[in-house]
Amino acid sequence: MRKVPQIVRLALFPQVLASIGRAEREEFIAEALATLVACDTPVSRWERLKNHLRFWPHRLNVQQHQTQLIATIFPHWAGLTGEQRAVVLGRPAWQLKAALESELKTEPLAVARWLEAHPIERLADVAGQLLILPDRDASRLAARALLHMVVRALGIQPSPVFGEVIPDREEPGEEALSAVTQGEVIANIRDGLAQFGQHQQRDVILAAFILADSLESPGSAALGLPELLAEEGHPVQAGMRAALRRSHAPFMRSRAWRWMKCEHVGSAALERVGRGHGALEHELVLSAGHLLLHPARRAALLGLKVGSKSGPAGPVPSEGGALPSPAELDSLSQVSRRWVGEMADAMQVDRGVRGVLRASMLSDRASWVRHAYARSADPVEQADFVFDADARVARTACLGRSAAGARIWSRWPMRSSDWQRARLAGKLTRSAHAAVRSIARQDAARMNPWMVDLPESRLAAREWLASDRAGFLGALRERLHGEVGRDRVDAIRLARILRLTVGIEPELLELAVGEDARVAATAVAALGDLGSDSARAGIDRSLRAEDDRVRANAVEAGVRSAPRAEHAGALLDVRMYGVMIELKGDPHHRVRANALRGLIEHTGVDRAGAVIDSAGVDGLREMLEDDRSMHRLAGLWLAERTLSGPGRARAGACYDWMCRRVAGIATRDGDEMVRTRAVRCARRLLAGMRGESGAGRARAAA
């Protein structure tokens, strides 16, 4: 026998294996498998010719005979050793498939058993054929094989999530499957679903649920579920409902949660969502809690009733229900805990249970959960959250109570609740979180109309003025008569910003001669806005004040409020001109600078633009050459404001000298403050020159 050619043995072994007794079976199977493998090795040309002549004129198909031999071996599968099985399983999938298909008609149950034990994805077509056979056992085994093939094809690892559907012994396929093979498996599942009425195998539905997360998922589209569900009374609808109701696998609750808004399976899905066994099932649903935001899902949940039982802190959800019990709640992830409260709001839950759940959410260890509920908490609870240790929670709660974006927030005069807000905002300005401090400062300013430096405060003042003018003016006057100098100064500044100085003229006149020099100086500056005779008289009085600041402001205010008149080449009236001439030699630098500015800016110019009266420009030259550093400093301030732009023409022939002087001070002056100021002044003058030359070039080019 050993000398018999392999090809002859290959042709004879199928017949032998079909008719031998049990005693010889092992020996012959071993020899047959050896022959099977040996026929794969290429033979020499001479041997090939001899084989050809042996069977001439027939053309022996070696692969077909190998397939036939494998098909003969399948019924003896139980008696094969591990190595022998490995030899068969190592054959090409097409060969196995052909062998199985040849055995399908004679031994369907054996083929189904083999497939269930060896769910090779490339044999999905065979399983598909077995599925619709009338033999219930073969059909059941084929459905199970298809389920395993899906698991292997998609590389799904065994997990508690799948429960008994994918047992732990399941090993995913080692080799990377091509998309074509995966497509074959999916196509067979799709056919199995379409023919569900014929076989009624639940494993096919489970495989479909593994593939299809939801009705809109790509898996669902690949299986053609939307079409099957749209078909009126298709058996697969009943199958899906039954699978959702009866399956205890945790992942089915997740699928039920996603499929809930599909009307054909909605009732069964809702029923499954209402049953949550163990923390894992709750985790799977609550981790996708955002789906609750879909109106259809929320509407469906309204019909779900959740049982409760009494706990130490009050009524709590009972085990096995739609909501996690306190013990299960502790083991959930923070993402899932975040949705428990909102889920409870959407269901028929006892009010006490809802309160207990909300309380546990608000005191949750994860800041993310607290953050979610801090936003939806009532105002009293929000006030507590602004002191949260987590900056994000505190900031959100603070923003929730903030006036940011609110047009009118406070009512004037403020009520007790507003005062409470103001007090809280004051406390929060000392919060540990920078964001909270920033928001609280803005809120505090929104509640206080007298913080004139802050825009929020000015907005509050405007709102108060718009809503109650008389009340605001009364409060303003009261503040002007206050004792704190700073408050009075801010009140005057606010009145100027809001253009309310006309309404408080008597108070301003009174304050302009007051003892507090700073208040008086501010009041005099405000009098300059009025332009009335009484205000001018007040300014005149202040021109002779002892305090330098008051005098300086009076000069500035006087220039602003003086009536404009063409006289002696100046735009100032005679009286004010005289005052300016007198004060340009004032010992205080600010007074002197303001007087010179008035002279330079409010003096008439000739056709060339140069000042007719050179008193102002001469005074500026003197200031720049003054021995006193503060006078030089004030001179530089004046030069910066009057020599740039049109001031160049006003200075006329002196302009170049002044520029050189400023440059000289910037490089050689002994006082650092003066030098710095001179540099700034020089930079501004230079920028003005460049701007003019650039504009000149543009004009020339045009």
CB 18, min distance to other proteins, A: 8
CB 161, min distance to other proteins, A: 53
Q: What angle do CA 248, 251, 257 make, to 5 degrees?
A: 100
- x/- mask, other proteins, residues 20-59, rule CB under 8 A, reads xx-xx---x-------------------------xxxxx-
**What are the DSSP calls for 647-660, one per residue?**
HHHHHTTHHHHHHH
DSSP state of 314: E
Rounded-to-integer distance, Cα 561 and Cα 508, Å: 15
Q: Which of 86, 81, 98, 99 is nearest to 37 (CA)?
A: 86
SS3 316: strand
CB 20, min distance to other proteins, A: 5
CB 12, min distance to other proteins, A: 4
Q: Which of 392, 284, 262 is nearest to 331 (CA)?
A: 284
CB 4, min distance to other proteins, A: 5
Q: For residues 5 and 320, which CB has a smaller minimum distance to other proteins in the complex? A: 5
Q: Which of 663, 616, 679 is nearest to 642 (CA)?
A: 616
Q: For residues 46 and 56, which CB has a smaller minimum distance to other proteins in the complex? A: 56
Rg (CA), the chain: 48
Enclosing H/E stretch for 310? strand 308-311
Residues in region 59-78 near other proteins by CB under 8 A: 60
Q: For residues 61 and 420, which CB has a smaller minimum distance to other proteins in the complex? A: 61
169 near other proteins (CB under 8 A) = no
Rounded-to-integer distance, Cα 295 and Cα 302, Å: 11
Q: For residues 48 and 575, which CB has a smaller minimum distance to other proteins in the complex? A: 48
SS3 311: strand
**Omega before residue 587 within 30° of 0, cis:** no
Quote the tokens at residue 502.
């006309």
Rounded-to-integer distance, Cα 17 and Cα 28, Å: 7
Q: How many residues bind other proteins (CB under 8 A)?
A: 21
Q: For residues 11 and 572, which CB has a smaller minimum distance to other proteins in the complex? A: 11
Q: For residues 12 and 404, which CB has a smaller minimum distance to other proteins in the complex? A: 12
CB distance 152 to 119 below 8 Å: yes
CB 47, min distance to other proteins, A: 13
CB 42, min distance to other proteins, A: 20
Q: In angstroms, how far is CA 449 from the centroid of its own chain?
A: 35
CB 48, min distance to other proteins, A: 15
- 348: which strand partners? 305
Judged by CB under 8 A, the residue of 1, 78, 608, 700 near other proteins is 1
Q: For residues 6 and 396, which CB has a smaller minimum distance to other proteins in the complex? A: 6
**What are the DSSP calls for 318-376, one per residue?**
PTTSSS--HHHHHTS-HHHHHHHHHHHHHSB--HHHHHHHHHHHHT-SSHHHHHHHHHH
Residues in region 296-315 near other proteins by CB under 8 A: none
Q: For residues 32 and 123, which CB has a smaller minimum distance to other proteins in the complex? A: 32
Q: For residues 7 and 340, which CB has a smaller minimum distance to other proteins in the complex? A: 7
CB 54, min distance to other proteins, A: 5
Q: For residues 98 and 207, which CB has a smaller minimum distance to other proteins in the complex? A: 98
CB 22, min distance to other proteins, A: 9
- x/- mask, other proteins, residues 2-21, rule CB under 8 A, reads -xxx--x--xx--xx--xxx
Contact residues for other proteins (CB under 8 A)? 1, 3-5, 8, 11-12, 15-16, 19-21, 23-24, 28, 54-58, 60
